[in-house]
Structure 1
Amino acid sequence: ALGREVDYFNEYGGTADLYLMESDADTMLNAVSGTSTIGGSPNSKLDNTAETLVLFYWNGSSAKVQDVDYLIWGNASCATDKSGAGTYLNDTPVAGQSLLPVHLDGEKLIRLSETEGSETTTGGNGITGHDETSEALASTWDVVDLASTRPEISDISFEPAAPTDLDSLWISATVTDEVGGLSVECVYTFDGVQTATDMNPLNAGADDYACMILPLGEAGTFTYYIRAENNLGLKDSTLASSKEITVYTESQNIAYLRDNFDDLAETTVSITATVTVEMGKINTYASYVQDDGGRGIYIFGSGMSGFARGTVVEITGTLSEYNGSLQIKDVTASSVGSATLPTIPELTCKQLNNNYMFYEGTLVTVHGQITDRADGIGGGSNITIDDGTSSVTLRVWDSTNLLSDFTADSLLQTGNLVEVSGIGGFYASAAQLMPAYAADVTAWTDGTAGTGNISLTVAPYPFVPQLGEIINYSYEFPDEARVIIRMYDASGRYVTTLTDEYHGMSWTYEASWNGRDELNRLLSPGTYLMHMEVIERSTGRVTRLAQPVVIAVKK
């Protein structure tokens, strides 16, 4: 502070490291030992007419100092030339030194740029080797009004935070200036090429400036800084910052990993998914996760320990294959919250059998009748469920303790109708379903109890599908029967299938048809035939019923 401590504190609300006018250890030393060079006024000021100001560094013991900056204005009466003094190198002779312009009260001197112009950069007494007395001060500094300030740059923002080669870059900053005529640029370097692009105000009269840089198209280091200049030539700039531009990769959800396994095998992958079966339920180090894409995958490794069902986890590991099953191994995982289980696909047994590799590792649901059960088979039980379209083996591992639950064990007895959710798998090229929780085994009821009769009833009126109308119908069937209802046109050509399912108990259903074919196309007006076929499993008897359905014309 070029004054007293009290004056500095009153002005700025803090303390400086050194003071020109004090009496303690924080007082600046005189320029010449034993000689008062500071002046007697308690508020000593630099002279506006002619003065020299030298900023230098001294290590406390060396016989000489190192110049940091050297300023002289008005005339050369206070100029310095250390040439020939001790071990100093030659300075620029006083007659050759450039002078700053004279400034008056209410004015100040300000450097026009961050550089020192044509200053000699070697062989000098400066701390960086420059000859600080050689700066062309008349061109690198100027006189401005005391209120004039440089632009100030703050609140720099870069989006996106993790840019890829396909992202546009958005760079913004707040630039304040009291002078006007502001010009703001973003200067960036990428792939060895430097580019300056204008940053424009986001709103008229506002201090926020921004620019958008189009996708760079490749990976690399993006280095940038912001500079601003007002109409007085006063400038400010920020330090350079850098961002790594990476190559865009498609989001790695589980479906993506499965569909691109040939390319991703034995590489490191990362997913976010919900735990469907916690570690240790099916195998000591096995757990299963599923995401909103409707696919699941087997996770192998102790990194999943402690994550209960429903935990949302971020997982990183190696994508691999084990005995035909895809897995992520050598995993690290962290919890990012909890959630309800993702939507569980509901399948017929036939769908699961025909697509068991697709649903391998995925939590799915089937329903049907338990037709066989064998306990104590290789560390678990094999239970057969049949829904009339096909049958599937429920593999219940002893490690799940599922059959220790009285309700689940009772439901999984021969003859019962159940709905079961479990992890899709396979054994000996046949589908398996692996339930792991007692709560995933429930009694299955659909419709209302029937009388054992066979019937098909269609509402006795025409309907117009083009107007969004539907036709209601109901049907009943006996115990242990497969029920197939199909639509045909008047010439007997197949139109669509409304249901094809096995039912263990006699039920009555109510349903509707929207007048569309199997490709979801609206059908032409005319008479159609609803045909029901009932195949009774116990006797093999087949019963066929039919009812007409009329699609009317829109008027």
Structure 2
Amino acid sequence: GQTVTLTGVADCFSGAPQYLPAYPDHISSAGGGSPVISNIVYNPADPEAGETVTVSATVSDDGSITTVDLIYNAGSGDVTTAMTPIGGDVYEGEIPGFADGTSVSFWVQATDNDGNTTTSAPQIYIVGQSDGLYSIQFIQENRDALLNQTVTVEATVTMGFGSLRSDRTSIYIQDDSGYGLNLYNAAALTDLVRGTRLRVTGTITEFNGVLEIEPQNPAQDIEILATGLPVEDLVEEVSIAQAKSARWDGALIRVKGTVIEVGTNIGGGSNILVRDFSGSIVVRIWDSAVEAGLFGENTGSPAEVIERIFQKDDFYQITGIGSVYNGEYQILTGYGEDVVNLTESLGDNIIFNVETLMPGQIPGNGLKDEPFAPDLGEMLHLTINCPTESRFTLMVYDLDGREVRNLTPGGNAAGGYYEISWNGTDDNRERLNIGIYLLYFEIRDSHGKVQTEIKPVVLGTPTD
């Protein structure tokens, strides 16, 4: 959209007219380009409570600049203040002081004489953060504003060197906020194994949608604080539907489900498709993890090792890192200890029956696989019988994988005979919307082996 003035020779090439300026000064701008904003700096870099922050920026244009504004937000909405030219193309503005812990985001907006406006990418700082230490939760929730900024975090390695790559460092770390982050460096930092507590300073970057912290000089930017720490307390157990959320991107999560497909080895790793009551997800295991012996004895090719570990239709507990690849959620697993086969027959004396009872109807005479309408006084009647040495849970989930009701007597019941009724309410005893829900029955024996069953139920309403 920029207008230019040309001086040169008119010509024709292949039937198309063209104009040939002979020298660079034969091309001059007549305006029309947008302002260019660069070199944004704020000072002090670590403001204390009540301290004013000065922001400077270089703003240039092929015409003239009419306004340059500094816009900031400290949690109460955007505030705009004019920036003042201080010499050349440099402009300066101020952000007032705020209390400790306040998160302040800011950006610069410039408009030229042609009405073209440019807005810079946002930046962010935390008042009173003198040590420069950020929580990973804050980084994940403000990723756009923190891109290309330098931060410091303290975290524990959850997916260590070799579990994803062996030629360079691509590992995952997680702090006490429960959020995780990829740590990347072109060097092979082999001492960064699972359970290492570290303090790292690096630049926040993004690669193919993966948020990373990249230390520029590992010898100076990474300090190992402890080794051999357990990571179990960092694990969050979720349904597969819940795992498909940006909340768990980079975090250590655990799902339970049935293997429905052991895919072929592709792109340097194997994909295993796992399904639970709420949906399915790909579990990705890189060949480098198998070759490094992280899945035990690696006799045979990585694909052969994976095929021995995963059996189609068996029920597994899988721990790994929530991730996104090509817009699809997946779980990255890098250790044999994170894959547990829970399948084992618990005997034939397990009963899990579901029937709809109308008012006054005797259990055993109800309708099976039929909708029930609580507004008509109908109830869902469940009969459970399982070995006394086992324990069971009985949950109701919606189709998005959210728990809506815990029907387990006492929250985690011992084996035995039970009759349980449900009137279509949630844990707050409020009536659920009509629709399809999933009854999830899980029984676990004294050795930790698990058997599950899922039954869909339809919550209906009376019709005329």
The alignment's TM-score, normalised by the length of structure 1, stands at 0.41
**More contact order relative to length (CA 8 Å, sep ≥ 6):** 2
The alignment's TM-score, normalised by the length of structure 2, stands at 0.48
